[in-house]
Amino acid sequence: MEKPTKQKKPVTTKEQARKFVKMVAKKQGWHLNPDTQFIDDLTEGFATNRNRFGYYSCPCRDADGEKALDKDIICPCDYCKPDMEEFGHCYCGLYLTEEFAATRKAPGGIPERRPFEL
Ligand code: SF4
């Protein structure tokens, strides 16, 4: 009798992660950071997280690995809207408001809004 073969999980590629971030930006009406190397590094992080955890957790934060505990940092995270409103970009600096993008400034570091006890 033949052994049942284990189904391989589909691998998320960097290109798929790139499509994902473009889709999020388009849907929300945000701009993407124009630094292509930066986008490349972040999409690599997104692909790694998706393959490791099964979801696109924020590449700039440590994920727990349990979806219920990480749901606030699945991109677009719960903190991005207030960060966009206050600083013009998200915590990672991946997504920018139209106004911020027009300044051509590079996003700087902003305070972490996620409560530490999570
Ligand atoms: S900080 Fe930006 S890149 Fe990170 S999860 Fe939030 S919206 Fe996505």
**Position in ligand 1 atom list of the atom nearest CA 79:** 6
As for how many domains the chain has, the answer is 1
Residue 112 lies in a domain: no
Residue ranges of the chain with per-residue pLDDT less than 50: none
Query: pTM of the entire structure?
Result: 0.91
pLDDT at position 116: 77
Residue 39 lies in a domain: yes
CATH of the domain at 30: 3.90.460.10
Q: In which domain, by residue range, is 24 found? A: 14-103
Long-range pairs for 35-44: beta carbons < 8 A, 24 or more residues apart? 35/106, 38/93, 38/94, 39/94, 40/14, 42/92, 42/94, 43/14, 43/17, 43/18, 44/14, 44/17
- Ligand 1 centroid to residue 102 C-alpha, Å: 20
Q: Name the 3-class secondary structure at 99.
A: helix
**Position in ligand 1 atom list of the atom nearest CA 92:** 1
pLDDT at position 117: 59
- Ligand 1 centroid to residue 42 C-alpha, Å: 10
pLDDT at position 11: 94
Residue 64 lies in a domain: yes
32 lines ligand 1 (CB under 6 A): no
